[in-house]
Amino acid sequence: MAGLDAVSDPSKVCIKGMDFPDLENWAQSHGFRSGQALMLWKLLYGNNIWANSPDELKGLNKDFKKMVSENVAFKSLSLKSIFTASDGTRKILFTLQDGSVIETVVIPCSGGRTTLCVSSQVGCAMNCQFCYTGRMGLKRHLTAAEIVDQAVFAQRLLSSELGSITNVVFMGMGEPLHNVDNVIKAASIMVDKQGLQFSPRKVTVSTSGLVPQLKRFLRESTCAIAVSLNATTDEEVQPGLAPWTLREELRLKHKYKVLFEYVMLDGVNDSLEDAERLVELVRGIPCKINLIKFNPHQGSMFRPSPEERMIEFRNALAAGGCVVLLRFSKGDDQMAACGQLGRPAEHQVPLLRVPSQFRAAMEREQVSPSSSLPVDF
């Protein structure tokens, strides 16, 4: 049956890997009505309960509760540790059933907004040169249950302290659209009106540019999409995306805007000429552009662009008719900021060949890893 994720006890199923139709079918296969499945669904995700054990299944039919208790594994992951950055950002380390560790970030923002950044893979296969997670290589995909459980655990752990989570971004470890089946299912549970109840506009899936999967996501999901676009003349900083593929797809979606994410790298992609080329690349695509400060990490070849240059770059994009925002670091003193998640092993994925224009920029001033960055958790 679809949605039954592997758990440590093979005789039990992990129901957090099911969307509601799967859960309804599963309940009916055990002789119970769909109304009981809906009550269970609400206990798992709604009413600020987020049930994680049979003891929390208040109000269920006695026989149904007994069947669930005997057949269901409620957890696909367990809490390992929480780190708190100076700005209030929390980095949560979760241990999976196979012993792998993933990282999830909760970011308190202004105006009562709290953003949850979830991981979709253990490691990542994309090998983007500015991302620490990419140094790990890909270990495996996360199941839908393991993705959803990050949201459930974060709500249970931190909502009383930080308030309800209002936004979810698939911007943690991994390339979400490389794991497109499980990401689409997990996102559908998050936006279900009887589930975790997030607005589809406030659940954003980020991709480095996997075109077939991107087309599928835009056609099957109601959630938002963010596309990394970090070079205007060369595809060697990260895997390339042809922006024109979005122009065609977005004609089918009403009032839908793509968020382009552009990591600012000193001397690499932050010139006014880059800004002019970026304006042309996105022309005709309903979008916003998010300029992101690069967050250094051990082994990094790059430096962050100075704030003054980021502002000049933003102004040049705005003058070209773009809607543009600046995003500065949160959680970087605990390696919880964008591009800093994960812990590469001793044998890391090799760096790609660095184009000459990038080598020249890096040779001007080599990056020295900060002694304040924690490397051993």
- Tell me, what CATH number does 268's domain have? 3.20.20.70
Give the CA diameter of the chain.
Answer: 70
pLDDT single digits (tens) 62-81: 999 999 999 999 889 999 99
* Axis crossing angle, helix 144-162 with helix 180-191, rounded to the nearest 10: 40
One domain for residues 159 and 266: yes
User: What's the pLDDT at 126?
Assistant: 80
* Coil, strand or helix at 78: strand
- The answer to whether 111 and 172 are in contact (CB under 8 A) is no
One domain for residues 129 and 62: no
Residue 354 belongs to some domain of the structure: no
Residue 4 belongs to some domain of the structure: no
User: What's the pLDDT at 49?
Assistant: 85
What is the domain extent for residue 170?
A: 78-342
**How many domains does the structure of the chain reveal?**
2
Residue 355 belongs to some domain of the structure: no
One domain for residues 82 and 69: no
- Tell me, what CATH number does 57's domain have? 1.10.150.530
How far apart CA 106 and CA 92 sit, in angstroms, is 8
One domain for residues 41 and 115: no
Considering 58, 73, 88, which residue would you say is the last residue of a domain? 73
User: What's the pLDDT at 331?
Assistant: 56
One domain for residues 84 and 127: yes
Q: What is the mean pLDDT of the chain?
A: 82
* For residues 25-37, average pLDDT: 95
One domain for residues 123 and 158: yes
Active site residues: 103, 338
